[in-house]
Every structure is written in C-alpha cells, then in structure tokens.
Amino acid sequence: MILKEVKARKIKNSNGEEAIEVEIDGCRASAPSGKSRGKHESKPYYRNINFCVKFLNGWRDELEINEFNDLEKAEEVIRRNLGLKDAKKFGGNSLFAFESAILKALAKEKGKELWEIINPKARKIPFPVGNAVGGGKHSSNKNKPVFQEFLLIPQENSIRKNIKVMKKLYKRIGKLVKGNGRDDEGAWQTSLNYQEILGVLSKLGVEIGIDVAASSFYRQGSYFYKNKPIERREHIRRMNEIASKYDLLYLEDPLQEEDFRGFSEIKGRLIVGDDLTVTNLNRIKRAVLKKSINAVVVKPNQNGSLLEVKDVVDFCKKKEIKTIFSHRAGETMDSALADYAFGFQADYIKTGIFGKERKAKLKRLARIERRLKNL
C-alpha cells in the first residue's frame, strides 16, 4: 500500500466532545477521549486538535506500507516534520487514529480483517468486562458511590452468550440498585453506596469486579469517602476486605497512581493497573518488578503508538500479566478496539454494556467469532 494522502476531521464523541477522525483510502478511524485520565498518559493532542487535523491534512510524504511494523515509517515522518524525539508527543488520540486508519487501509488493500494485520493466527476471544453501575467521575449523581465502576465479567464459552448474559443482568440490576439514569459510559447511576451495590452484584451468579479509580478521591495523603478522610493503611485494609468479602475477580486501581508499593499489598485474584500504568511500558515494567499488579488495562490512545502497544502486550505475555483492552468515557462508533483486543490476544475487553458506541465493539467481536467458525 502506498500512503500518500491523509484526510482528517473533527467529529463528536458520545459525550458531545470534539474527537479526531482520520481517513485513508476510504477507511476511517477515530480516537475516544478519557474523562478519568492518569496523569502519566500521553496528552491527547500536540498543541490542540485543530493543529493535528491541519497537520494530517497537509500530509505530503509518500510511504510504502506493507505490514504492521511499517507504522515506524509514519512515526518517523511525524518526528522529523515536527521536530519531536518521540512520535507519541504528537498526541495519544491523533497518533492512534492515524495509525489505526493506516492499518484499516492496509487490511482493505490485502482483503483481510483488521485483526489479521496484527496476528492472522489469533483465535482466542477475550472475555467482556461490562460496566453495569457507575460512580466517581463518570456519574453526575450528587449522591453517588465513590468507586467509579462496578463490573460484570461473565465467562461463558462464546462472546455471543456473554453479551446475552450482560444484557439480561444489566436490566435486572437497574431495578435492584434503583437506577436513576445512566452515566457517561452507559452504566446505571444510583444513590446506593458501594457495599449495597456489591451486595447486589455478588448474588447474580457471575464474576464481578470494581474500578476503584482511587486517585480520583485521594488528596494530601488520605482517601476521602464522602468527605471523610481515611489514611493509607486503613484504605489498604479496606480494599483487601472488600476483595475477600465479595470474592472479586477484578480490582482496578485500588490505590492512587504513584503507590506501587501499596498495590503490592493488595490481595486478590486480578490486581489491575490503569492510572498506575497508563499503557506505558516503563511504568508497567516498574509495576511488575515491584509485584504491584498481575493485570494491566491497555488503552491504545493512552499511548498513541500501536507499535508500543504491541511491545506492552508482548512484555505482559512474557511476564504472565493479564491484559484488558479498554474503551474510554467519550467513545466513538469505531469498533476497531475489538480487532485490537482480538488481534493482540487480550484476556479481556472492557467496552461497557449500554449505548450504541459500546455495543459496536461487542457486535464486532461477535462477527469475528462467527468468522472464526468458517476458518
């Protein structure tokens, strides 16, 4: 494939915010935006979205792209033309949308699926992690749970069955938690506290988890539960108690994003880094060295470079660290996350349950699963 023309534009994401969309040879790719962002993740755009759109629309370099690793050629052009040492400085959103559009166009030319460009031998469908009840930064409720996400993780033998389980339980949960509207990820909003919500979810017969997003309620050395400060040791004790009492499969960001040592003191099945690790290989290596985690959230636009996303996944597989490819709060209709989760053979995919932007990823996984049966 010869890359010589790039079109870029602004669109709106699920939260009504500006998002970048890139088109190459008729193939469009867009990047989501996060509301709860780790302070170490890549900035969304170099300077601003308008600059990145203008830069891509002014693309003049002709590149031959034949395989995934040829993304390095595109990154080199960005580094050279903008005087950057690292292409990620172009912005996590702008770089990811650009590289994703390149891979989609390459797949189109070769008559392949997007995931086949990454790994034609991929066969394992990731388990879905569905955000059923929301709190923290994602919820607009005045009286809301302090934890950010309460998650369903069904583990049937097909993605189609898992989607069906999540949909059925999601409706039931809305009544059980007295849901009063939905947050920006489509999860139920409620005035129940985290103990009451976990009490409901723990009786549903599926694996469950939480995204604590502890950095969002950490200030000056304490964790604030409804304005009541709790010191670090007590918070660690509480996290361990919750993980044990409700038999959580999944515990994400139980401590603030700099506390690698504290993470290592959390006992549970999957101790997941997101704000701690921000899809950054150096931070993930540090977390593994300190035994802080045994699972990592992978958000491609947290990094921007799909080449580095591959390095992250390869390292995690080598160290037996589980990977969870994840959506963001402000999503688009682009379903490529499903292809990346499958192509990189992630263990889980976090997409949400409700909303057309979330369902697009799940439907794409179901289509991939159907295609596998014909291979």
242 close to 201: Cβ distance less than 8 angstroms? no
The string of DSSP codes covering 65-104 is --SGGGHHHHHHHHHHHHT-SSGGGG-HHHHHHHHHHHHH
Alpha-carbon distance of 292 to 282, in angstroms, equals: 14
Greatest Cα pair distance in the chain: 59
Q: For residue 341, what are its two tokens? A: 């989760």
Candidate list 88, 104, 137, 299, residue with the active-site label: 299
* Alpha helices (runs of H) in the chain, residue ranges in sequence order: 49-57, 71-82, 92-110, 114-118, 159-176, 194-201, 232-245, 260-263, 281-289, 300-303, 306-318, 336-343, 356-372
Give residue 69's identity as a one-letter amino acid code: N
Q: How far is CA 47 from CA 52, 90, 352, in A?
A: 8, 8, 30
Place of tokens 């390292």: 315
Q: Which of 185, 207, 308, 331 is catalytic?
A: 185
Question: In this structure, is the dihedral angle defined by the CA atoms of residues 43, 47, 50 and 51, taken in order, positive or negative?
Answer: negative
**How many C-beta neighbours within 10 Å does residue 175 have?**
10
Please indicate whether residue 299 is annotated as part of the active site. Answer: yes
Nearest to 204 by CA among 229, 234, 251, 171: 171
What sign does the CA torsion over 174, 38, 246, 232 have? negative
Could you tell me if 319 and 344 are in contact, meaning their C-beta atoms sit under 8 angstroms apart? no
The residues annotated with a catalytic role in the active site are 185, 299
